[in-house]
Structure 1
């Protein structure tokens, strides 16, 4: 792979662009704001997200022209918040996506049908499964920005596509794990954001490390339950693609979902928390999507239920956590 189009201008998109440019992959990068484009072109950094990340502009062409960016090459990487994906796709002529390789690195369910991002993109553009891939963690943009050791999962049904993406994103500090489990890894990436929120709530309400450790252990059980309900009984849940991403989101100071939960635990309302944070916490919308799906399948997932009742039924955090304590195993 020598070139790729990237759709999205947030911190995760910026981190991925950084890796690609370092690997001398030409990046055609769509961003919504002209000020971002000008700053990236002039200064080699994204002024709005992880601005300390240095970008090699010799390999980056930033633009606010979505159609032009899509026309540049065959591989298209979507890195936008799940809530914004439908609006982005509505701006795209489906004919422009014929025979494109569609790559997703989005960690939330999409739309009223609670679709996986890869499923939504396939439905929007008629993409074949062999022409799709996903990128997952465990990794945080902030650590990629400063070149700290990072692990990433590349999922695709086509082995040649997996190899191409592994070469494009692997580096001396990014180690790639390849997988064919698009569904399992994508659901795990979505669920871990909910876990990060609840761990943050626990921290915000002054629970200690002991309780949070038990909370995470129970979250692993809930993830297994979810994956089995999807027919993924052979998944090796102990691998970094599943639990590594969950752990880093639950414990890291860089986790925006954990930060969102901390503020909720400290008494902020959902709207106040959204206003306070400059970045989207995917776990908020993911909570509703996964809760709807789990309810429809008759799954009892106490951690997911707690997140839903606090965020969408506006139940008191402390009351809900007292109930959650009783369900921990």
Structure 2
């Protein structure tokens, strides 16, 4: 990887992809960027901002090579940043012909639901992308604060910290501090789990639980996450690090958290479909809830918070009944 000569491409056009494009252009002269619709590209070029997300971020479009052909973006890029909702990843990559030789930094904060695969596992299985070529981007970081250049922290996880440090050079700037990790599996699973916990926090908010309960919920949640990641990938890790505890906290508490907002709607009595329609954005935790439930059928980790969310979203048990039982389990 050579940042002076390598071309960088982005696959994804949502808020997180837009935030990452802003960060990347602090460090590279130009980027290649895939958008599904040519009409969106034309509107972007005309108005100098993404027509659907983070309107306040104005881009110098002379530094962006837009294209609606994903294979063209891939062919002309040495490093690929993938930032699409995990549930849609197979559809987005359906026409991809070859990813060999590409360095890939995954900003996907979820699990590929059809087969319950982490993104790194999915890329290995279907595109033969070795784990040594993959980096995983972890928070805590919201796209909306990146847009406002609020100081934020990101962690890049690779098979070794040395490889992760190379990726960090892409994204570190005046308002983004970075750290490196060798825990691909732990950071990916933690990113999946914190979205489920954020839904639980939102449900609690919708049910009018107070700050005291939220504090207990989040403190028990990090223990739940630790039990799970230690079971599925047992290595020495500090669960209190920003990529785990920090990402959980910001997702469970922030006004920008779409998973928390989705959960709050459910807690107030919305159906899943109604909440999804009103949110008008993808709440990764909804899909992750079912995947983690299925994965945990094998591991049998004690996960009362994730199980409570599953009962509400998929078994359709009323939130007040499920949380009535959960409150006693959190003692």
- TM-score over 0.5 (shorter chain): yes
Other structure's SS at 1:260 match:
helix
Check whether the contact 2:161–2:181 (CA below 8 A) recurs between aligned residues: no
* Superposed CA offset, 1:98-136 (max 9, x none): 211122111111133211011101111101111111111
Query: Whole-Å Cα distance in 2 between the matches of residues 200 and 292 of structure 1?
Result: 23
Give runs of aligned pairs for residues 146-295 of structure 1, distance below 5 A: 146-158=148-160, 161-295=163-297
Check whether the contact 2:113–2:287 (CA below 8 A) recurs between aligned residues: no
Check whether the contact 1:12–1:141 (CA below 8 A) recurs between aligned residues: yes
* Superposed CA offset, 1:160-182 (max 9, x none): 54233211100000000111110
Check whether the contact 1:40–1:62 (CA below 8 A) recurs between aligned residues: no
- In the other structure, the counterpart of 1:63 is 67
Other structure's SS at 2:81 match:
strand
* Superposed CA offset, 1:274-296 (max 9, x none): 11112101000011111111122
* Superposed CA offset, 1:205-258 (max 9, x none): 111010011000110110111011113241101111111100000000000000
Structure 2: where are the runs of 5+ without partners?
Answer: none
Q: 1:21 aligns with which of 19, 22, 25?
A: 25
* Superposed CA offset, 1:149-200 (max 9, x none): 0000111225554233211100000000111110001111110000110000
Other structure's SS at 1:62 match:
strand
Query: Whole-Å Cα distance in 1 between the matches of residues 302 and 106 of structure 2?
Result: 29
Query: What TM-score, normalized by structure 2, do the two folds share?
Result: 0.96
Other structure's SS at 2:101 match:
coil
Query: Whole-Å Cα distance in 1 between the matches of residues 168 and 64 of structure 2?
Result: 20
Query: What TM-score, normalized by structure 1, do the two folds share?
Result: 0.96
> Does 2:42 align with 1:35?
no
Query: Whole-Å Cα distance in 1 between the matches of residues 192 and 322 of structure 2?
Result: 22
Other structure's SS at 1:97 match:
coil
Q: 2:48 aligns with which of 25, 34, 44?
A: 44
Cα 1:20/1:328, change in 2 over 3 Å? same
Other structure's SS at 1:23 match:
coil
- In the other structure, the counterpart of 1:308 is 310
- In the other structure, the counterpart of 2:101 is 99
Give runs of aligned pairs for residues 76-91 of structure 1, distance below 5 A: 76-91=80-95
Query: Whole-Å Cα distance in 1 between the matches of residues 163 and 68 of structure 2?
Result: 28
Cα 1:166/1:25, change in 2 over 3 Å? farther
Measured after TM superposition, the shift of residue 91 of structure 1 is 1.1
Check whether the contact 1:287–1:308 (CA below 8 A) recurs between aligned residues: yes
Structure 1: where are the runs of 5+ without partners?
Answer: none
Measured after TM superposition, the shift of residue 310 of structure 1 is 0.5
Query: Whole-Å Cα distance in 1 between the matches of residues 280 and 166 of structure 2?
Result: 34
Query: Whole-Å Cα distance in 2 between the matches of residues 218 and 176 of structure 1?
Result: 27
Other structure's SS at 1:216 match:
helix
Measured after TM superposition, the shift of residue 3 of structure 1 is 2.4
- In the other structure, the counterpart of 2:115 is 113
Check whether the contact 1:8–1:78 (CA below 8 A) recurs between aligned residues: yes
